[in-house]
Every structure is written in C-alpha cells, then in structure tokens.
Structure 1
Amino acid sequence: MSGFVDLGIELPARPGALADFGAVLGAARVSLEGGGVFTHGGVGVAHYLVADGERAASALASAGLGRATVSPVVMLRLDQEAPGELGRFARRVADADIDILVQYSDHDGRLVLVVPPDRRDDCAEIARRWDTERATRPQ
C-alpha cells in the first residue's frame, strides 16, 4: 500500500471555493499529491491524494467547508505510451465486478483508484498482477 488516501469533498460551485480548500489544507500542512476538482450539477466534487486524510478532513470540517470522506486507494502504473492501457486495466476490474468510484493520476503519473472498501483488496490484487505482467513485457 502507498500510505496515501483519497480525500473527497463536495465544494460549493462558487468563486473562491477551491482557494479556500487549498488554503485550509495548506495551513494544516497537508500536501496534495494528485487529484482534481470538477463541477457537476452546481456542486464542486474534489478528490485529492493525501498522506494524512484524517488531519485534512478535520481541518476542512473545522473551517466549515463540510464533511470530507477519506478512502483507501489502489495505485499502479500504466504504460503512458501505449494507447488503450486504461481501458484494458479497467476491463479487468470490471470483469471482477468491481465498480471504480473515482479515478485520477498522482503527480508521479500513477493511476489512483477508489473502489468500494469491501473490494479494495481484490482490486489491489488485480493491480499487483498487472504490475507483474507489465514488468515482464518486452519493451
């Protein structure tokens, strides 16, 4: 496991919401290691990779920005130069009947996935097998 977790929170769709989010986490000395925020249906949905999810969630709640969720993640590398890698890996996860709830990349180019907590270990095993196969593929 990476030691990182996903920090998820709904932010109001208003100018400054992301600035407030970033300022609160900066003051709490929480570094964002990947992720993003998107507005959908009038709500900003943010998911970021952090090392200390509980500290981040506590800081956001104390600042009145709402209740954040902290979720374990599965991380792996895809071959960025090979078209279709995301689809091939996601198909393996889907074939195992695992729902991908959130997907983004970290600052080091690794794929970050949030799946239902009861399926995290199964998804991590699929990722381990993928990494082993990737390491043995001819370059």
Structure 2
Amino acid sequence: MSGLVDLGIELAARPGALADFGAVLGAAGVSLAGGGVFTHRGVGVAHFLVADGDRATSALASAGLGRATVSPVVMLRLDQQTPGQLGRFTRRVADAGIDILVQYSDHDGRLVLVVPPERHEECVEIARQWDTERAARPR
C-alpha cells in the first residue's frame, strides 16, 4: 500500500539504546518514517516504519543489536478533527476478528497497523473501504 514496512526490535532498557539503534540505521542509510519505542517489563519495544527492511535488519544484526522483524503495514488516514475515529475504525477490524499487534502513527499523521500476516490483506480491504467512505463524506 505504501512501500513501507514495520521494523520491530527489542532494545535493552538502558540509556543510549535508542541512540545506538538510530545511529546504526542512519549509518546504513535507513530513514525512519514514523514509529516509537516503549519500555515494558524491562525491555524496550521499538516499532518504526522503514522503506528498506532488509537493509535495516542486516545493519542491526551486524551491529549486535539483535534480531529485528519486518512486517507489512496497513496505513490509513483518520479524520483527526472528529472524536472517536480510532475507536470506530478499530472496531471494524475487531468485528472482523483481526487482532491488532502494533499501532502507531507515521510522520504524516496516518494510522499504522501491524496485524497477523494471514489477516493482512483482509485488514487492507477494511482500510480501503474506510478510505472510500471517508472520501464520500461531506466536508
């Protein structure tokens, strides 16, 4: 849908772990287009959008930062001026029985989702339908 993929990796929960991550990717020429890091139970969990997942995972592994995963993403725009958009869209995903594994925003304010690979195309179709309906709404 966008040419971007989710890069996921666990980082040590220590000062400088994110700096090391960013420096390694920067040296490899990998730009970040959105994402974030959260610490949970002593582990930093990072998810970022990248255009070249193979280059990113190779650079991180070579630097000894661990094994990263690459997943396809579902991206769409919510009307940020309308309260309840996140709940309404994710309810559609939930009603389809699709588990959302990761959710964040890109640098352009689009919603980014990672879902189980076997449900990815179904979620993409739900996002397409949402976008079609959104475009048809009066402004």
Give the Å deviation of 1:57: 0.5
Q: Distance in 1 between matches of 2:51 and 2:42?
A: 29
Tell me the matched-pair count: 139
Q: Distance in 1 between matches of 2:25 and 2:89?
A: 32
Q: TM-score, normalised by structure 1?
A: 1.00
Deviating beyond 6 angstroms after TM superposition, the runs of 4 or more aligned structure 1 residues are: none
Aligned AA (1:96): A
Q: Percent identity?
A: 85
**Which ranges in structure 1 are unaligned for 5 or more consecutive residues?**
none
**Aligned residue in 2 for 1:32:** 32
Give the Å deviation of 1:11: 0.2
**Aligned residue in 2 for 1:138:** 138
CA RMSD of aligned residues (A): 0.3
**Aligned residue in 2 for 1:92:** 92
Give the Å deviation of 1:56: 0.2
Give the Å deviation of 1:65: 0.1
Give the Å deviation of 1:138: 1.1
Superposed CA offset, 1:39-89 (max 9, x none): 000000000000001100000000000000000000000000000000000
1:67-106 map, 5 Å? 67-106=67-106
Q: Distance in 2 between matches of 1:65 and 1:93?
A: 33
